[in-house]
Amino acid sequence: MLSRSLATDHDAMTGLLTRNAFENQAQSLMQAEGEDLQACILYGDIDQLHVVNDLWGFKIGDLAIARVGNELKALLDVHHA
């Protein structure tokens, strides 16, 4: 049986898509749209996040991930409108 956190498409702490959910959605979109697909993927890495985790714990690290993700989403939503 899958744990609750694995059974969902979103991370419980950050609210962001899990890597598997993101990859599944991207694959489905590419298959549905075929060669007509026009898309862009933004991939990021929070440099030195392990330092935040080591100093303040994983809960704070998760909050940092959520903050960065939500700030990027808000920025992209503003420019998409």
Q: What is the mean pLDDT of each run of 10 residues along the chain (81 residues)?
A: 60 80 89 83 84 95 89 80 58
- Tell me, what's the pLDDT at 33? 86
Q: How far apart are CA 52 and CA 62, in angstroms?
A: 10
Token match 């890597």: residue? 19
- The tokens describing 74, both together, are 């808000």
- What is the signed CA dihedral for 48, 25, 17, 4, rounded to 10 degrees? -120
| Collapsed DSSP state (helix, strand, coil) of residue 13 | coil
- Tell me, what's the pLDDT at 21? 92
Q: 59 with 13: CB under 8 angstroms?
A: yes
Return all residues near 68 (Cβ < 8 A) that are at least 6 apart.
Answer: 44, 46
CA-angle at 66, arms to 56 and 20, nearest 5°: 110
